[in-house]
Amino acid sequence: MAIDPICKMTVDEKTAKFTSVYKGKTYYFCAPGCKRTFDKNPEQYVSINQ
């Protein structure tokens, strides 16, 4: 299971409908709103979660 970097919900990588690739890594999202938030400023969320 992956963790949505925006809301911290768990997301099943196999069934996730919303994903983004940033710097070669795939991020998984529970909803389109979380994906949009991430896509606007991915560096903000990547640096928090590394």
What angle in degrees, to the nearest 10, is found between the helix axes of 32-40 and 42-49? 100
Residue 49 in this model has a pLDDT that exceeds 70:
no
Q: Are 4 and 15 in contact (CB under 8 A)?
A: no
pLDDT the model gives residue 48: 53
Averaged pLDDT, 34-45: 96
Averaged pLDDT, 41-50: 78
Q: Are 45 and 5 in contact (CB under 8 A)?
A: yes
Measuring CA to CA, which residue among 42, 20, 18 is closest to residue 31?
18
2-35 tens-digit pLDDT: 999 999 999 999 999 999 999 999 999 999 999 9
CA distance 27 to 15: 13
pLDDT the model gives residue 23: 94
pLDDT the model gives residue 45: 92
